[in-house]
Structure 1
Amino acid sequence: MEDWSVLDLARDPVPGDPAQIQTLAARLLREAQYAEQHASRLGQVAANSADLRMQGDYAPLFQQRLAQLPQQAAVLGPAHESCGRALITYAQTLEQAKIESRAALSRGLQADAQYKAALQQFCTLAPGFWYTGNWRELDEPFALRYTQYQRPEVRAAAARVGAYAAQAEGERQDAATVARQAARVAAEAEERCAEAIRAAMPAPGGSSATAASGGGDDAAARTTALLAVRGAARGAAPGLARRSVSTRGAGASKPPWAPLDTYLAAPGWTAAEQLQRADQLAMDMARNSISTYIKRTGSRSYVGAYNTETGEVAVGSSGTRAPGASSYCAEGNVCNALGGDGGKVIFGNAYAVERQADGALKVVGKPVCIKCQADYSEAQFIEGVEADRGGPWGR
């Protein structure tokens, strides 16, 4: 398993499978050909409707409807082709971004190994020196300060080691920057692909989705397209049918109750902005809980999500919301706050507070549990989300 923590990342910054996207794109292009063939045949039938020699009261209505079919069918071929071309472009960009991010990871791992080797060498030159955690501040000035009372030759050697360590750390940070840039490129390509798919969606009456949709409908269509792109990248279709949220058993009998906040969407909201906002709010809620941490609530998880139709954001924790209520995962509590339809929410990462070996409390990422994998599609979570093994997502 790839260790992205060396680049200060919790997970793969460029998730997704370009091959899966290319497969779907090829299928859409084939469907485009079939649709154009069918539209042509319908046109021929409609043009020769007189040859059908229909009689009776139903004949005029039938001929009217038949005449409308070629126009309605004509948009399907171009729509499928536009979606297929958009996916091909996205797959190519995603593949290049993955190459760059993995090259950055390799570079970061090498730089990290060099820094750690320098750190070990400095420890031999500076008896009594110790550090905790992932300390990365060794450089030439620090080495000279720490060995100021050592012999000149020791100080000189320590200075060289410090300079080497600083160079290695600089390489690691540069690699981290490249990985984050690759993630931004992939995310922007995903948004462009979703926008192209949204624009190509035929609307009732044969017009494009762009011309037919308004504010709320436009946002919903944009989100639907984004889910489709993510589902293609993961080799799964994003289920958007209404789904209920399963409970996690009887609720607690006494407080503290699970916290939950909701935030209305601003005019002109976008899917990317709401998801980023939801994820940040969840991290903040987890961090704020440290000051009131007790053993009984120490196992809580925190998550944020937004409603794909309204843009409303909710953030909350797992547990019981009120006396007499059932207990839910954080995802369930948040979903209920956004209307209770498990098919109309997009979740950010889940977070938890864990006690470290030194006794300090720290906010950490938490994988999606097996039960939540059964309640929601993987495409309904932020890119790169972690998940417990052995669940319905097949990890």
Structure 2
Amino acid sequence: MSDETPRPATEPGDPADRPEGATARTGGTPAAGPQDGPIETRTRELLREILSGSWLVSLLAIVLALLAGAVLIAVADSDVQEAAGYFFARPADTLEAVWNAVYAAYEALFRGAVYDFRADSPTRAIRPVTETLTFATPLILAGLGLAVAFRAGLLNIGGQGQIILGAVFGAFIGFSADLPVVLHVTLAALGAALGGAIWAGIAGVLKAKTGANEVIVTIMLNNIGLYLVAYLLTTQAFRVPGSPNPISPQIPTETAAYPLLLEAPFRLHAGFLLAILATGAVWWLLDRSTTGFEIRAAGANPHAARTAGISVDRVVILTMVVSGALCGLAGSAQVLGTEHVLTGGVAASYGFDAITVALLGRSKPVGTFLAGVLFGALRAGGVLMQSETSIDIILVVQSIIVLLIAAPPLVRSVFRLPSPDARPRRRAGAATTEVTA
């Protein structure tokens, strides 16, 4: 009779249970390719924990962020501060002032993001929801790109640089070429995707071939992209002749711009339809294709994926290229959809906000789409909300959402939710029966 004890956690020979680089029990050579170090292993585990959270945790994180924002709105309001001075004499005045401040701020957020029921015309009343979708378009596209990378266990922090390069490629094709309408906008959009794919592909190749940390590489590429576009806007090829401002020539809206879905003054353009198509394409890629299975397998356990015959290096490069292409399309939404020119601030903060969008959506296509719409609403509503309180409140809400989705146990502890790994409690009667037997 053998003295070995059974191993319930994994099946015999599971590479996830062996030291990194160790061979299988049946023999063979160590898996080729760069091995993950302790830091990257912990990063993968943290990313896996964040992405495995439930939709309820994401929803409660938003609720907590809005509650925290309400507290800050109340504290910063002058009427609340004045009423708090005599709180013990008339506490109802303070509570009323708190309610008025919070209600006014969030009412303005709703009116600026969804529907302005105080507007004097139907056009102005429904314009807020179109602005939300306009702001959401680059967030959705970039969020989908980062979600693909996250599902492969890659922390692509370079969305900002990839959006910039996508905007550079798309804008250059837009204002320099003279082509028919359909061909022109199509080539400009494809050029934007190519620019983002090249920029992210650099990080993918370095990761696969040298084991370079993709977080550091993509962050550095963000800075390079920022200074690159600043330099290009000083050159003759990208600058308006005779203009002292660092701005590119106007992209012809008749041929190279995304067509508007509604007439002016609405800004919603066909890039939003592209975002919907991209959501469906990413869903098919990740959940219905062989390549998507390889991406998810490499993200779950790269060593087991190598043992199964999957080329993890190829998956890393391909994933980063796809991720960058989607971020490049986000850049096209800026230059071909709303701005129609290339400037140094063309990417705004979309690349960094897209990280939150992807994480809040648990790197699922539909979840990322909805998270992008939410953050688009915060951007659109924040414009009107600043008439009631500081616009920085929106940034605080977004930051708290980032904090909470990065710490699912914190949300569960606040609302006393059970851990997904917790074993269900047995009933007392069942336990007694088991002991008696």
Question: Could you state the TM-score of these two structures normalised by the residue count of structure 2?
Answer: 0.26
Structure number with the higher helix fraction is 2
Which structure is higher in RCO with an 8 Å CA cutoff and minimum separation 6?
2
Higher-Rg structure is 1
Question: Could you state the TM-score of these two structures normalised by the residue count of structure 1?
Answer: 0.28
